Structure 1
C-alpha cells in the first residue's frame, strides 16, 4: 500500500476533527439566539446540546468496533454523510423540531475520533502515530475556541441558519478530504457473526445514564432522574453479562483483562470527573462574575473568550511535543505530566479569585495540562491494544468513558459550587470554591496514581518504521496460508 505524504495525512485529520468540534461547539454560542428566534427557554434549547451528546456517546464505541471489523474509512465516510444530512435538515426544516432531528444526526460526528486513531495506525509508521494523534487532539482545543468565535460572528451577521449552512459545508469538505485516505486495512478471513443485540443495548444504556445525570442539574433527585440512571445501569449490567458470555461479542471486553488498559480506563474516568468536568463552570464563574462577589474578575464574555483562545492556542502548540514525548518515552509519561500540570493550574484558581494576571496564568497552565491529557489517553490505549482493536478501545475509553464521567463530574461540581452561596445570590462562596478545587485535586491525584501503576510498554518510536495495521494483517495472512498448507499436507 502506497502511503500518502505525512503532511497530507495531518491536514486531512485536522479538517475532519475540526468539523466535529465546530458542530459540537456552535450550539453553546447559539443558545440565546435560538431562545429569541423560537420563543422558548434555555432548558428547551439545551436539548440541541443534549441530543447531540446522547447520540455521540451511544455511537462512538459502536462505530469504532464496526470500523475495526469492516474498514474504518467506510464507517468514517458514512458518519460524515449522516452528519452533513443533519446540518441541511436543520436549515431546510426551519423550525425547532427540525433542528433537534438535525442535531441528533450531527451527533454522529462525535464518533469520528476513535476511527481516526485506528486509521492513524494504518497510514503512518508507528513512530509517527503519537504525534499525528497529538495534533488531532490539539486541534480540538484551538478549534473549539475558533468555532465559538466564528459561530458568534455568523449568528450576529446572518442569523441562526448560517451556522448550520457552515457546518454542512464543513462536513462536505471533510467528507471529500476523507475520500483521499487509503483504503482501510481489514483483517483477512471470515468476519464473525455481528452481535446486533450487544450493539443495540449499549447506546440506550449510556444515553439513559447521561440524560439522567444531565437532568439532575435542574430536577435534582426526581423520580424521573432516578429511574433513568437506575434503568441505564440495569441495561448496562445486562449488556456486560451478554458481551462476556457470547463467543463473538460486539465489544471485546476481554481486552480489559490487560491491567494497563483497565488502569487507563480508571485514569480517564477520574480525569473526566474532575479536571474535565470543572473547567467550563469554574472558568465562567471566575472570569465573568462581578468583582463585588467572593470570586469574580468582572470580564465580559468576549474578553473571557479571548483568554480561552490564548489558552487553546498554547495547548495546540504543546500537543506535538506531548506526542513526541509519548513516542520516545511512552504515553504514560505524557498523561502523568498532564495530570500533574492540570492539578497545579486548578490550585492556581484558588489564589486568583480577584487577580487577573494569576487567573490568566492558572487558565493557561490548566489548558496545557488538559492538552497533554488529551494526547496521553489515546496514545496510551494505542500502546496497549493491537491495531485491530484500536477503534473499539478508543471509543469505549476515550469517547464514551470520558463523556459519561465528565457528565457525572459536571453534576457533582455544580452541587459543590452551590453548596455554600452568597446570601440572596447563586454565587459560590470561597468555601464552596475551595471545596470544588479539593474535589478536582483529589480525583486528579487518584488519576495520577492509576497512571503511574500502568506497566510501561514498548514506546512507538522503538517499534520500527512499520505501519502496524498493515504488518498485523500481513502476519495473519502468512499464518492463515501456513495453516492451510499444513491441512493440505495432512490430507
Structure 2
C-alpha cells in the first residue's frame, strides 16, 4: 500500500471518529422537552444533560490530549471512543434523569477526540496535505455540532430521543473499527509523565468556572453560590498557573501558550466561541418566537432547524477550502477574515431579519466565517508547536472555545431573557443588543490576531520548548 493510500485511509478513520463525537455536542438541545415528558422531570433538571457534557468535555479535552501526547494518540483515541460508546449505551437505556446525565458525562470524554485527531493528522498526513486535512476536520467539528441541532428533531420524531444515542453508538463503533484497521500503530509520543497536581487544579478551576456559567441564570448571578464558585475558579486558576510555572514536567507549558504565535490565536478562540454559540445557538430560538409578538417569524422547531442548513453548507465549503486558500492567503489572515465575516454577518442579521431567507443567508455567511476561523486556528496551533505537544496545545484551544460557548450562552440568556414582554416572551431589542455585543467580540478577536505580529523565524520550525521532558521519541503505541 502506498504512503498516499495509507494517509487517505487514516484521514477517513479520523474524520469518521470526529464526526461521531461532534454530533453529540448539541444533540439533546432540540429533544429536551421530550426528555422532560418521558422521564417526568423539570426543565432545569433536563438541561443538565447539556451541562454535564460541557463540563465533562472541558475536563477531558486537555487531560486526555496530554495523555495522548505521552502514551500514544491512536491508543488514547480508541480508549476515548470506547468510553463514549458506553456513554451512548447508558443514555439510550437510561431509566431516569440521573442515569441519563451519567451517560452524558461519559459521552463528554469524547471532547478529547478533537485534539487527538489533530495530533494524529500531523503524524499520518504528508506535509503538503496537512493544512487541508486539518481544515476539513475542523469543519467537521463545527458541522457536527450544528448538524446535531438540525437532525435531532426529525430523527427523534422517527426513532425517539433514545434512538439518537443508538445512532451515535453505531457511528462511534464504525469510527473505532476504522481506527483499528486504517491508522498505523507507530507514531510519536513525548517522554515524561502526567503532572497529577496540575491535572487536579486544572479540572478544579474548569468545573468551578463552567458550573456557574451554565447554572448562574437559575441560581441568580449575584447569589452566594454563583459568586463563590467564580471566586473558587479564580483561586484555583492562579494556583494552577503557579504550579505549572514551577513544575519540571508541566501539564500545559504556560510559556508555550504565552508565545506570540500562540496566545493571540487562543484569545481569539475564546471570543469566537462566545460569538459562535451566541448566534447559531440562539438563532433557532429567535426563529421560534411567536409571530403574534409583531416582530417574530413564529417558525416550528423543525422549520427553524432547517434554516441552519445554509450554515452547515457554509462551514463545509470554508473548512475544505482552507488548504487551497493558503496558497494565496496566510492562515492568520484567514482567521482575521473569518472573524470579521462573523461580526459583519451578525450585524446584518440585526438589521435585516423580517424574512426567513434573510436569516438563512446570514446563517450561510456566518458558517463561512466560522469554518474559516476554526480551520485556521487549528492549523496555526498544529504548525506552531512541537509534535509532542500538539495534543495538549489543540486541547487548550478547543477548551477555550468551549469556555467561550458557555460565556456566550450565559451572556445571551442574561440579555435576551433578562427583560420579557408581559406574556413572558423575549423582546426584539434584547436580541439586537445581545447580537451586537457578540459581533463586537468577533471583531475584537480579529483585531487581536491582526495587531499582534507573528514571531519572525528564518525557517518554519515550530515554537521550541525546553529539552528534557518534552523530547519527542518514536513510539509503537
Deviates more, 1:12-21 or 1:409-418: 409-418
Residue segments in structure 1 that go unaligned for 5+ positions in a row: 465-474, 479-491
Who is 1:407 aligned against?
406
1:196 and 2:200 equivalent? no
Distance 1:153 1:300, change over 3 A: closer
Deviation at 1:156, TM superposition (A): 2.4
Who is 1:471 aligned against?
none
Distance 1:310 1:59, change over 3 A: same
SS in 2 for 1:426: coil
CA deviations 1:230-279 (Å, max 9, x no partner) are 11221121111111111111221120231121111111122223x21311
Deviation at 1:116, TM superposition (A): 0.5
How far apart are the structure 2 equivalents of 1:346 and 1:132?
Answer: 28
Distance 1:142 1:443, change over 3 A: closer
Who is 1:442 aligned against?
440
Q: Runs of at least 4 residues of structure 1 off by over 4 A? A: 456-459, 475-478
1:66-465 mapped onto 2 (5 Å cutoff)? 66-179=67-180, 180-187=182-189, 191-221=191-221, 222-273=223-274, 275-293=275-293, 295-326=295-326, 329-397=329-397, 399-430=398-429, 432-456=430-454
Distance 1:202 1:54, change over 3 A: same
How far apart are the structure 1 equivalents of 2:70 and 2:281?
Answer: 39
| Contact 1:128-1:327 within 8 A present in 2 as well | no
Q: Which has the higher helix share?
A: 1
CA deviations 1:195-248 (Å, max 9, x no partner) are 111112211210121011111122222211112221122112111111111111
| Contact 2:153-2:301 within 8 A present in 1 as well | no
| Contact 2:289-2:425 within 8 A present in 1 as well | no
CA deviations 1:393-436 (Å, max 9, x no partner) are 11012x21111122112212222223544344331233x33322
Residue segments in structure 2 that go unaligned for 5+ positions in a row: 462-470
TM-score for both structures, normalised by structure 1: 0.87
CA deviations 1:305-324 (Å, max 9, x no partner) are 11212320232122111233
Who is 1:65 aligned against?
66
Deviation at 1:454, TM superposition (A): 4.2
Deviation at 1:93, TM superposition (A): 4.6
| Contact 2:147-2:312 within 8 A present in 1 as well | no
Who is 2:465 aligned against?
none
CA deviations 1:123-150 (Å, max 9, x no partner) are 0122211111111122234434544454
Who is 2:464 aligned against?
none
How far apart are the structure 2 equivalents of 1:157 and 1:115?
Answer: 34
Count how many residue pairs are aligned between Structure 1 and Structure 2.
461
SS in 2 for 1:75: helix
Distance 1:292 1:90, change over 3 A: closer
SS in 1 for 2:364: helix
CA deviations 1:339-382 (Å, max 9, x no partner) are 11111110111122313332222121112111111111111212
Deviation at 1:160, TM superposition (A): 3.4
Distance 1:2 1:105, change over 3 A: farther
How far apart are the structure 2 equivalents of 1:442 and 1:345?
Answer: 11
Distance 1:184 1:374, change over 3 A: farther
Who is 2:13 aligned against?
12
1:24-39 mapped onto 2 (5 Å cutoff)? 24-39=25-40
| Contact 1:326-1:332 within 8 A present in 2 as well | no
| Contact 2:65-2:395 within 8 A present in 1 as well | yes
How far apart are the structure 1 equivalents of 2:399 and 2:142?
Answer: 19
